[in-house]
C-alpha cells in the first residue's frame, strides 16, 4: 500500500484560505468515506482535525473543513491563523488487511 500523495508545502497570509489535496486510489480514498486529517505541531503528537471526510471533532474550529471527490480528498483552512502553521497529514481506511494509509504530509506556512 503506497502512501497517499500530498503537496510538500502550502502557504497563505492570515485570513486567506488554503487547500491541501490528498490523492489516493480506489482502494483507499476512493473506496471508503473514512478519510481523516491530522494536525501536528513540532514536537507534538498528531491531533485529529477531520474524520469521515468532512466531520469535525468537538473543539476543532469551524474554519477547518474536508471534502472528497473520487480518489482525491481535500482539507481547506479558511481564515488562516498563525496557530494553523503546522504539518498536516491525511489518512484513509484501506480495507481489512492494511487498514490505514497515511499521506506524505504537507507543511502549512502562514506568511
Partner 1 sequence: EVQLVESGGGLVQPGGSLRLSCAASGFRFSSYEMNWVRQTPGKGLEWVSSISSSGTKIYYTDSVKGRFTISRDNAKESMYLQMNSLRAEDTALYYCATYTASSPAFDYWGQGTLVTVSP
- How far apart, in whole angstroms, are the C-alpha atoms of residue 5 and residue 41? 20
- Which positions ≥6 away from 87 have C-beta within 8 Å? 39, 40, 41, 105, 106, 107, 108
Decide: is 7 part of the binding site for partner 1 (CB under 8 A).
no
Decide: is 3 part of the binding site for partner 1 (CB under 8 A).
yes
- How far apart, in whole angstroms, are the C-alpha atoms of residue 6 and residue 105? 6
Number of residues that bind partner 1 (CB under 8 A): 26
**Contact predicate 57/49, CB 8 Å:** yes
Decide: is 60 part of the binding site for partner 1 (CB under 8 A).
no
Please, which residue, 38 or 64, has the CB nearer to partner 1? 38
Q: Which of 24, 28, 36, 77 binds partner 1 (CB under 8 A)?
A: 36
- How far apart, in whole angstroms, are the C-alpha atoms of residue 99 and residue 24? 14
> Which span sits near partner 1 by CB under 8 A: 14-22, 23-31, 42-50, 74-82?
42-50
Instruction: Kindly list the residues in this chain that would bind partner 1 in the complex (CB under 8 A).
Output: 1, 3, 34, 36, 38, 45-48, 51-52, 55, 57, 89, 91, 93, 96-105
Amino acid at each position: 500500500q503506497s502512501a497517499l500523495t500530498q503537496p510538500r508545502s502550502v502557504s497563505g497570509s492570515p485570513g486567506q484560505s488554503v487547500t491541501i489535496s490528498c490523492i489516493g486510489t480506489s482502494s483507499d480514498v476512493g473506496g471508503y468515506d473514512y478519510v481523516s486529517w491530522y494536525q501536528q505541531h513540532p514536537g507534538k503528537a498528531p491531533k485529529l482535525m477531520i474524520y469521515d471526510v468532512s466531520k469535525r471533532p468537538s473543539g476543532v474550529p469551524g474554519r477547518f473543513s474536508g471534502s472528497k471527490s473520487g480518489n482525491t480528498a481535500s482539507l481547506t483552512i479558511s481564515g488562516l491563523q498563525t496557530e494553523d502553521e503546522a504539518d498536516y497529514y491525511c489518512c484513509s481506511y484501506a480495507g481489512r488487511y492494511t487498514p490505514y494509509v497515511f499521506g506524505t504530509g504537507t507543511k502549512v506556512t502562514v506568511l
